[in-house]
Amino acid sequence: MTRQDDTTRRRFLMLAGGAAVAGAVPVLTIRPADATPATLAAAIRDVVGTAVVHTGKVKLDIPPLVENGNTVPMTVSVASPMTAEDHVKSIHVFNEKNPQPNIGNFVLGPRAGRAQVSTRIRLADSQKITAIAHLADGSFWSVSVDVVVTLAACTEEVI
């Protein structure tokens, strides 16, 4: 009898855990958003084509908690020797939930010396920012960072 109870309890926990895991993934993707994951994926595909995007090499410095989404400092850098043979050709930054998936495209070259770009961006919601670097050998490297925004950009009225 007790054994029977154990099994059901274990099964219940497994089911609950499985549901939590399955539920956790869509939370990020199925929110009402303008730049939906589909448009984000399309914007990324426009840049990388059919190439494989590896994870790593790229570093995205952005505050994890942002009070004002109208101006968020962002620095993106890539670990690269920046020589004629091995350098970063371009860096592309994307967002998940702004009305448009693109944030900026930055074209560098071996003369940059250091693959690092800083700017200030707008964020309409708490969301994931993705940076993709295109290297001279044709490979793509990416990183994603989650940002929580308390005051969103784009929503206020113009007086």
Partner 1 sequence: MAALINVPRRAKRGDVIEIKTLMSHIMETGYRRTADGDIVPRDIITSFTCRYNGDEIFRADLFPAIAANPFISFFTVATESGTFEFEWIGDRGFTATAKAAITVE
Interface residues toward partner 1, by CB under 8 A:
70-72, 95, 98-100, 102-109, 111-123, 153-154, 156-159
Distance in angstroms (rounded) separating the CA atoms of residues 114 and 117:
9
Our CB check for partner 1 shows the closer of 87 and 142 to be: 87
Our CB check for partner 1 shows the closer of 133 and 153 to be: 153
Residues 6+ apart with CB under 8 A from 54: 139, 140, 141, 142
Our CB check for partner 1 shows the closer of 112 and 143 to be: 112
**Element (DSSP H or E) covering residue 44:** helix 37-48
Smallest distance, Å, CB 5 to partner 1? 55
Q: Considering Cα of 150, then 31, then 119, then 76, what sign does the dihedral take? A: positive
Smallest distance, Å, CB 28 to partner 1? 19
Distance in angstroms (rounded) separating the CA atoms of residues 16 and 9:
10
Q: Classify residue 53 by burial, with Cβ atoms within 10 Å: 0-12, 13-18, 19+.
A: middle
Smallest distance, Å, CB 108 to partner 1? 6
Quick one: tokens of 48?
A: 């990388």
Our CB check for partner 1 shows the closer of 7 and 100 to be: 100
